Amino acid sequence: MAGTDARIGFGCLLKMGNDASPQVFNSIAQVFSLGEFGAERALIDKTNFDSPSFMEYILNLPDGTELTVSANFLPNDATQNTTTGMIKAVNNAVERDFQFVIRDSYTLAAVGTFSFAGLPRSWKVNPQVTSKMDIVFLVKITGAITYAAA
| pLDDT values of the chain reduced to their tens digit, one per residue, 150 residues | 578 888 889 999 999 999 899 999 999 999 999 999 999 999 999 999 999 999 999 999 999 999 999 999 999 999 999 999 999 999 999 999 999 999 998 899 999 999 999 999 999 999 989 999 999 999 999 999 999 999
Q: 116 near 98, Cβ under 8 Å?
A: yes
> What pLDDT score does 92 carry?
96
- Give residue 45's pLDDT: 97
**Cis peptide leading into residue 22 (ω within 30°):** yes
Residue 6 has a pLDDT of: 85
The CATH number given to whatever domain includes residue 112 is: 2.30.110
Residue 123 CA to residue 121 CA, distance in Å, equals: 7
What integer pLDDT is reported at residue 80 of this predicted model?
Answer: 97
Domain that holds residue 96: 13-149
pLDDT of residue 1: 57
Determine the pLDDT at residue 7. Answer: 86
Under a CB-based contact definition with an 8 Å cutoff, are residues 120 and 139 in contact? Answer: yes
DSSP state, residue 28? P
Instruction: With respect to residue 65, please indicate whether it lies within any of the assigned structural domains.
Output: yes
Within-domain flag for 101? yes
Residue 1 lies in a domain: no
| Position 8 in a domain | no
Q: How many domains does the chain have?
A: 1
